[in-house]
A and B are shown apart, each in its own frame.
Chain A
């Protein structure tokens, strides 16, 4: 009896989501568009930026250094400026974010075995990119100095041997794409589950459900399961695109991945149901969803690491299911995280799922009366 009623609700919910071609589009198009946007547009990497040079030196060494800069993959072209004033104006206009200024005695000092200095002017309006560009320039200059020195007697300065594990070329896409497996379905599920109750209320069908023998807990289950089905399907499709489309292999266990995603989606569904139990129409549900999704995204380590947040925000980030699933996803896709380590992040999500779903069920009960 209970199963019949529940099955009817779930089938109805899935039909409502998939019957309408526009509804089908809404489930498929936005995640795919966002997947490609995040993969190609959401990058903190700095590459192909123009670099400015003010060269007051006439020697061959400065030209060699400039040619090094020109051939570096990080820079698209070298723009020569006659004076520092001109260079300053170019930075002001944001034509270039970095200018390397080579003093007039550069070649002489270098040839003489002294230590010449060069000035790197950086646009601090974009401090993150500027820092990264600065380290590129540093690397190129240090390498040049090392090679220059190698041929001419005295040993060069000692340079750090710098390696990255898990993602040797530090490709931003490799780091970004796997975490979309959780982020994009999260948005869809928040929308589907968050709106569905509000829509029924707005259309009056919710009363129709309430006068049927369905129990509040059955309604909660009937709204959750379709969200879980759709969410897991999306997770699956995006995972396949990540693995085969972007060629990022899953190093960890697929079983652990599925378990983590299921628990994560359940916790999101609980939150969505809670939002939805507070809203009386679709408009409010939509606003509520936005007010929840934005902080969830931004306080999760999705766009910047959790450790950079102020201490008083850290607990909020730890209470965010997305924070945990992102660690698991990065771990399983890039680092071959052992199951035991993944479990440390699955438990908190499971706790949140239990709490949010219980609260949502309680809210529904109240709503009925």
Chain B
């Protein structure tokens, strides 16, 4: 009776049951469908570090032809939306109110200074209360300035001295932040389905008391765990497909690596996320506690320490050390590589190995801690 066939049958029955429940329970539906779609949407459209149209105040203290010419070149680029004035004071309030990102001032003696090579010919004041936009503003104004200078230099003798810098942005020459944010958000979605949903469905059995009836049947611990894991694993893989399709067709992100590698790599990460969810559920016996814990140990670290939004290298050392145990960090590295760079073994193999190791350790702890009894 307790042979393999009986065990397979029990596992199958548990998987069917679990799938039906996920399909019927509104909170599972929210975690498995609504939140992933929302996250994908928000990271695809809502968040962007590409300053599409920086709002610039342009001060022409003396509208000489040279100054006019530069002003026109600024206005003509797609990066700026420019307002003009002849006095900087006109923009002080706007800068204080956050209505513009920066003020470019061309001094009254712009042409003379320019001829002298004086640095004071053009001044930029940015709103430092948003450092990222301020940095981008500086970059774009600098770029525009250089381009204008180069354009004027055509025909004229090249300015002596100086070094020409030619940047090459690999993998993402269009410089769309969406291209790394969307793959990054896939990691959050996988974490949510893997950990939050798994923790929820197990703790629900405790909360509703159904586990008591289940434990009194011949179901073993391993069968119980497999019955919980398989449907969530399938759900995670389906979510990945949907995300990949949405990334390619809705957000126009190239998938330069192979789908097979992406699938295998995702499977490795899901194994970690699912084990983490199970581990949470061995501690939490109410859905509320389970969801709080899942947010705390799975979701938040995945958001902060995966390197998809924030720069790990710029964090204090202890936080950098901590980030090495965050599974999402490895998954994000791999995902961004597979999407934008391709199947690069030097990235995929080590990160994949770390994920598998983490999954094994977490699973072993979970199996040790899961009890066949109520006490």
Contact = CB atoms under 8 A, between A and B. Distances in A.
B177 interface: yes
B115 to A, nearest CB: 9
B162 A156 contact: yes
Contacts of B176: 127
Interface stretch (A5-13, A287-295, A354-362): A287-295
A116 B164 contact: yes
Interface stretch (A210-218, A230-238, A262-270, A333-341): A333-341
B314 to A, nearest CB: 5
A164 interface: yes
Contacts of B336: 125-126
A93 B163 CA distance: 29
Given A44-B310, A45-B314, A172-B132, A286 B288 contact: yes
B95 interface: yes
Interface in B14-29: 26-27
Interface string B90-105: 0001011110010000
Contact of B161 (A152, A161, A172): A152
B125 interface: yes
B314 A43 contact: yes
A128 B132 contact: yes
B96 A43 contact: no
A160 B124 contact: yes
Contact of B169 (A122, A170, A330): A122
Given A46-B313, A92-B346, A154-B161, A131 B131 contact: no
Contacts of B172: 124-125, 127, 130
Contacts of A174: 128-129, 131
Contact of A163 (B98, B116, B123, B131): B123
A161 to B, nearest CB: 4
Q: Which of B118, B129, B300 has the most CB of A within 10 A?
A: B129
A221 interface: no
A204 interface: no
Contact of A304 (B48, B93, B159): B48
Contact of B337 (A125, A152, A156, A171): A125
Interface in A53-110: 76, 89, 91-94, 110
A350 B216 CA distance: 57
B319 A41 contact: yes
Interface string A122-151: 111111111110110110011011101100
A360 B337 CA distance: 47
A235 B343 CA distance: 48
B130 A157 contact: no
A295 B141 contact: no
Contact of B26 (A128, A138, A146, A284): A284
A170 B30 contact: no
B82 to A, nearest CB: 14
B159 A115 contact: yes
Contact of A291 (B35, B116, B159): B35
B161 A160 contact: no
A117 B180 contact: no
B164 A117 contact: yes
A258 interface: no
B46 A313 contact: yes
A167 interface: yes
Interface in B154-206: 158-173, 175-177, 179-180
Nearest to B104: A160
B122 interface: yes
Contacts of B121: 158
Interface string B22-66: 000011001100110011001101111111110100000000000
Nearest to A44: B132
A310 B45 contact: yes
B194 to A, nearest CB: 16
A120 interface: yes
B241 to A, nearest CB: 22
27 contacts: A41-B304, A43-B314, A45-B314, A49-B311, A94-B333, A117-B163, A120-B167, A125-B172, A125-B337, A128-B180, A130-B169, A130-B172, A134-B139, A134-B167, A154-B160, A155-B116, A157-B149, A157-B161, A158-B117, A158-B121, A160-B142, A164-B127, A170-B135, A172-B131, A290-B35, A307-B51, A307-B53
Interface of B: 26-27, 30-31, 34-35, 38-39, 42-43, 45-53, 55, 93, 95-98, 101, 113-114, 116-136, 138-139, 141-142, 145, 149, 158-173, 175-177, 179-180, 287-288, 291, 300, 304-305, 309-311, 313-316, 319, 333, 336-337, 340-341, 344, 346-347
Please provide the 7 A-B residue pairs with the shortest distance between their CB atoms, ordered closest to farther: A124-B172, A167-B128, A164-B128, A155-B117, A149-B161, A117-B164, A154-B160
Given A125-B180, A305-B130, 8 more contacts: A49-B314, A89-B346, A117-B165, A128-B180, A138-B167, A161-B119, A161-B123, A283-B27
